[in-house]
Chains A and B, each alone.
Chain A
Amino acid sequence: MSEILIDVQNVTHHFKLNRKTAICAVDQVSFQIKKGEILGLVGESGAGKSTLARCIMNLYQPTAGRILYKGIDTCDRRQFKEHKKMLQTKRQLIFQDSTSSINQRMKAVDIIAEPLRINHVHTPRGSARAEAEFQLHYVGMDAGCLDKYPPELSGGERQRIAIARALSMEPELLVADEPIASLDVSIQAQIINLFKHLQKEHGFTFLFISHDLAMVEYLCDRVGVMYQGRLVELAPTRDLFSNPQHPYTRTLLSAIPLPDPKRERNRRKGVYDAQKS
């Protein structure tokens, strides 16, 4: 439990707009995720959460800093190439929008079995189809959906297929980039419960990116708060929600609506000004 799986050290990522200007999307972020932990990452839009996730998944090359996965520097070309296969199978990414993250012209079976086919993995359940069926059961869908195309399925089912695809490789690290943002509330709850259940069974390490504070509080062991590319606070969930240290975190928490209308009316919403503090 205490073993560190991924170590992010001073990662900075710039997006070049043109020759002169660059936007600093992620600024000097450092944190560690322990094995089997669920780390939540919250922050407003444009805070650099997704960029950080993509840096961790090697989709972007960070401008500066290192990311160590089990001691392997994934930002280093040579080390990445050396462990390419392991890195590609053991780390999986779930995208926000299931409509665009799965190919509309492929059947559910093919989508789920795609990573197996790419990596020529022989599954314990025999054929790729059997494996896909198993994974589909695992995420709570029945085998009837195997031969359906994504447009025939609902948003929640599509997201489940995306999750099943990520799980079919039995990853050690699962990075979910706002997996519930495009779903409606009842489906969100289903998917969150599914994540919680799956994490308990599989024991994978989970980086969960969201801007829904309630979901993060429910799911995560530790929560990191990002603001303008910086990680302003990182604390265990209970500490963060009961005793926020950073003023931005306090402002963020004050934005949560209260279920009681009387208290809601008296709720004071803070405004965070980065220049002031």
Chain B
Amino acid sequence: MTEKDFELAGIRTVEEQPLRAKRKWYKEYPVVSMLFLGIMIVECFFCEQIMTVNPTYMDLEHCNVAPGRKFLFGTDTLGRDIFSMIWYGGRVSLLIGFVATAISTAIGVLFGAVSGVASPRADAFLMRAVEIVLSIPNLLMIVLLQAVLGGAGVIGISIVIGITGWMSIAKVVRTEVRQIRNSEYVIASKCMGGSFWHILWRHFLPNFWPSIMFMVVMNVRTAIVAESTLSFMGIGLPLEIVSWGSMLALSQQALMTGSWWMILIPGCFLIVTLMCVTDIGNSLRRDSNQRQSNL
């Protein structure tokens, strides 16, 4: 009889597993994306220091020059230096991205919160209104608004993109607010005399912020894409305002002359920026989901 026979059924020796090492801090954040986006933003912000020549100056002696020592990324058909234009135009593109997002978030949060605290009938009315607006294709609406508003500047186009992109945020905010609005701390706050703004800012916003964070970040991406789409189609920013979109608009001519750098370089910058934003958005979503399950 070995010792093994005395082992009781059901008792198993559990092999001790060494505790998994704590995750490194840099694994919790999308470091690469943040770094790239950070560099992009900083360089666009300080573009005056980086630019080698004036990006709007048309050097007619050097049209269509391939990337080389003098022109790092080459020049376009009008003889403008693409390296300088990238930073200069990036400033405009990012600005549009952030301003449009700020506008759409503000409208979405406000509309959603009002709809969330409204009476059932008013709420139904507001939400059907949102659905009607949502059913119109986004691009169509932007084009229409653009036509109504006339000649677009940077701020004008941000507003147009901003007021066409708030619907999905409003819907999420409305659902969240409807859940929170009957909780006791909101009732207590009302009892103390808290106004709608106070409750929105102090109680609603911190509670639904994690769930719209992802959408807000994604709105930056949507706005940048919308701007470049519009500019590419020739109804966005005029050619003399440099942005990544209006640079891509030049690619129609570039394709014929076979100058790849005119399409590839602004396109690459655009894609890298969008990927960084998407990555950050995704990790934010993962993070907030995790934190909610921890509670």
The 0/1 profile, CB within 8 Å of A marked 1, for residues 177-193 of chain B is 00000011101111111
Q: Chain B: which residue is nearest A98 at the CB level?
A: B184
CB contacts (< 8 Å) of B193 on chain A: these are: 84-85, 88-89, 115, 118-119
Residue of B nearest to A175 (CB): B191
**CB-CB contacts below 8 Å: A81-132 with B:** 84-85, 88-89, 92-93, 95, 97, 100-106, 110, 114-115, 117-119
Would you call A59 and B184 a contact (CB within 8 A)?
no
Chain A residues near B198 (CB, 8 Å)? 117-118
Chain B residue at minimal CB-CB distance from A162: B188
Pick the contact of A101: B185, B194, B206 (CB < 8 A). Answer: B185
Q: Which one of A85, A100, A103 contacts B203 once the chains associate, using CB atoms below 8 Å?
A: A103
Task: Flag if B192 contacts A100 (CB, 8 Å).
Answer: no
- Count contacts on B: residues with CB < 8 A to the other chain: 18
Known: A100-B183, A101-B184, A103-B185. A115 touches B192 (CB 8 A): yes
**Chain A, interface residues (CB within 8 Å), range:** 20 to 34
A85–B194 Cα gap in the complex (Å)? 11
Q: How far is the CA of A102 from the CA of B194 in the complex (A)?
A: 14
B151 → chain A closest CB, angstroms = 45
Cβ-defined contact, B185 with A118, below 8 A: no
- Cβ of A151 under 8 Å from chain B: yes
CB contacts (< 8 Å) of B206 on chain A: these are 103, 105-106
B207 within 8 A of A: yes
Q: Give Cα A207–Cα B277 distance, bound, in whole angstroms.
A: 55
- B192:A101 contact, CB within 8 angstroms: no
**A80–chain B nearest beta-carbon distance, Å:** 12
| Residues of chain A within 8 A of B11, CB atoms compared | none
Measured CA separation A40–B21 after assembly (Å) = 56
Enumerate chain A residues within 8 angstroms of B207, measured Cβ to Cβ. Answer: 103, 105
- By a CB distance below 8 angstroms, the chain A residues around B185 are 100-103
| B191 adjacent to A106 (CB under 8 Å) | no
Q: Is the CB of A95 within 8 A of B295?
A: no
Q: Which residues of the partner chain A approach B195 to less than 8 Å between Cβ atoms? A: 118
Chain B at the A interface: SS class: helix
A227 smallest CB distance to B (angstroms) = 26
Complex contacts, A115 vs chain B, CB 8 Å: 192-193
Is B183 within 8 A of A93, CB to CB?
no
Q: Looking at B184, B188, B189, B193, which has the most chain A CB atoms within 10 Å of its CB? A: B188
Interface contact B188-A88, CB-CB below 8 Å: no
A59 and B183: CB pair below 8 A?
no
A89-B262 Cα distance, complex, nearest whole Å: 67
Task: Using CB atoms, name the residue of chain A closest to B185.
Answer: A103
Q: Is A57 an interface residue (CB 8 A)?
A: yes
Contact A118 B192 (CB under 8 A): yes
Whole-angstrom CA separation of A118 from B188 in the bound complex? 12
CB of B128 within 8 A of chain A? no
Answer whether A119 and B184 are a contact pair too, CB < 8 Å, given A105-B207, A106-B202: no
Q: How far is the CA of A208 from the CA of B190 in the complex (A)?
A: 21
| Cα(A93)–Cα(B194), bound, Å | 14
Is A118 within 8 A of B189, CB to CB?
yes
Q: Which chain A residues border B194 with CB–CB below 8 Å?
A: 114, 118
Complex-state Cα separation, A95 to B182, whole angstroms = 13
Residues of B160-217 at the interface with A, using a CB-CB cut-off of 8 Å, are 183-185, 187-195, 198, 202-203, 206-207
Distance A115 CA – B97 CA, assembled complex (angstroms): 38
Q: B191 to A88, Cβ gap below 8 A? A: yes
Is A180 among interface residues, defined by CB-CB distance under 8 A?
A: no
In the A-B complex, the 5 residue pairs with the closest CB atoms: A88-B193, A101-B184, A105-B206, A115-B192, A103-B185
18 A-B pairs besides A105-B207, A114-B189 with CB distance below 8 A are A84-B193, A85-B193, A88-B192, A88-B193, A89-B193, A97-B184, A100-B183, A100-B185, A101-B184, A101-B188, A102-B188, A103-B185, A103-B203, A106-B202, A110-B202, A114-B194, A119-B192, A151-B295
Write the residues of chain B forming the contact surface with A, with a CB cutoff of 8 angstroms. Answer: 183-185, 187-195, 198, 202-203, 206-207, 295
